[in-house]
Structure 1
């Protein structure tokens, strides 16, 4: 079995079309980055349950799907897990109880989404959130295939009657343990996948929020505090930032279903391809299906 570090370097090199010598450098850098990042055996507490139970109304059933970022890898306090952050935030914004079920798993790839959806069959979701893609990159999954699997998961959720919010894969260029040129080619790869994800998910009926570089501006203020002990996954502050964008997108998507459009920011319509390109370079941008047709998108800039 090839090592994850070698796999990452090979994927990056293949994408960028670099020479054999440069590939050797990328392998060495990936091995060093893997050593710097490290691992932790700790698992965050489960955040499944009811939030805002003091509020009136029927609970909104929310399903969380994806990889270690949606799990909350590295977090020790229940209140800082994505489950709790999304549940608490949504209940406040929508003024109703929210029941969270998190089926995400550490190491998950886009191919695992269907299984995660099946595992939640006992309760049909009203609203689903997906964070996926990082492990597709490290396992050399072609972006087109990864995006197609994401679209299939979105379509399945839509057939169950759920509204869907997808957080695109973040910009790998913000990961400090990755040195150049590895960081540069990984940034290219992650942005390429983010564009593919955006087009595929929006065409399938989801609202996509770009997580591109959402942590980068805050790095100037908080520095390493936005990353956890492994220097790869977010810290409590980092998870709070990411989930803040997800919650805002989720509330907007649910309100659009109930014909209560309350958008905070500038909304415009543009061709879906252009929207995906813009979003991949501007974190926090939301891209949603537009009334003009399948190849158009409504773009909301919250930053």
Structure 2
């Protein structure tokens, strides 16, 4: 079964509350599981002693006229910034500074991510954030690694994420999800665990994309974004626990997420999400499961809902647009929209469109 079909099946089972795929992720047999368990114990010894602290990046970034953009961050240790030494080094802070610089408008970050969190913790984190921010402009989610390492049933993980995204969209807020990173790139993890972690994490990332797009959100594939850099410069890219990213690693992840956050806020100039995809750059429109399978193969790829001929669904599920964003001229700042804007299938551009 290909990754697109697996992703579609996992997401569909999650949507209907089933659990029949639990055995698929554990179909290694007793002997195989014993090997994996031994390799996991070895990886923990190699990685060293973890730590619980992460910098407090809650607060105001940048300056300018008007009310600050409200950005909520939820998720696991990558969203919390575990491994960074200073608040300015977290993904949330780097994204906030980027949005502030592009728009000339301050950004307030409310970070409720928790080290060690799984997808089942997202709804609680969101509820905690909404006690302080009634309607965020955008919610940034980074989740999935602990679901894989804790061997959480993928359908359950995806169901929790989808429910959280639907609640965010019901608020009228935008949502950007950084999908599960490729855990097969972590050097201290040895074979055969490393290959299995690669497959499990990529399958989860693809299923997350299907579920998030179905719920009206957009995803950015983190995939093996840090793999080559970790291999070439482990001391620079790893934090002191030899597992979580350092400030340089978080900067790399934030650079992949920033264009999609800006596009969600309609402040990314010519590369806003209503531009048509460019086939020469590997972009296009198709079934969401197919787009999800393609996205996990190239880190930094965005997948978002779209329509074809006025319809948001085809015979193989919801239509999705796959984009590989690039910087462009900055458009005047304006409030975020609650509507899902789609690339046009004709040659007519709206007045004022970036084209």
Alpha-carbon offset, residue 135 of structure 1: 1.3
1:43 to 49, 53, 74: 53
- Unpaired runs of at least 5, structure 1: 1-11
Does residue 165 of structure 2 align to residue 154 of structure 1?
Answer: yes
**Contact 1:43-1:75 within 8 A present in 2 as well:** no
Q: Distance in 1 between matches of 2:267 and 2:107?
A: 18
Residue 124 of structure 2 corresponds to 115
Residue 253 of structure 1 corresponds to 264
How does the TM-score come out when normalised to structure 2?
A: 0.76
Residue 67 of structure 1 corresponds to 76
**Contact 1:40-1:74 within 8 A present in 2 as well:** no
Deviations 1:94-145 (A, max 9, x none): 3321110000001111111111111112312111000011111122221122
Q: Distance in 1 between matches of 2:271 and 2:45?
A: 49
1:169 to 156, 174, 180: 180
How does the TM-score come out when normalised to structure 1?
A: 0.89
- Unpaired runs of at least 5, structure 2: 1-21, 327-355
Residue 190 of structure 1 corresponds to 201
Larger radius of gyration: 2
Q: Distance in 2 between matches of 1:16 and 1:225?
A: 35
Q: Distance in 2 between matches of 1:209 and 1:91?
A: 21
**Counterpart secondary structure, 2:253:** helix
Residue 300 of structure 1 corresponds to 323
Q: Identify which range, 201-210 or 77-86, moves more after superposition.
A: 77-86
Does residue 144 of structure 2 align to residue 133 of structure 1?
Answer: yes
Q: Distance in 2 between matches of 1:65 and 1:131?
A: 7
**Contact 2:260-2:325 within 8 A present in 1 as well:** no
Q: Distance in 1 between matches of 2:253 and 2:270?
A: 26
Alignment of 1:1-303 (within 5 A): 15=25, 17-41=27-51, 43-53=53-63, 55-121=64-130, 122-123=132-133, 124-219=135-230, 221-255=232-266, 261=272, 266=281, 267-292=283-308, 293-294=312-313, 295-302=318-325
Q: Distance in 1 between matches of 2:23 and 2:30?
A: 9
Alpha-carbon offset, residue 255 of structure 1: 0.8
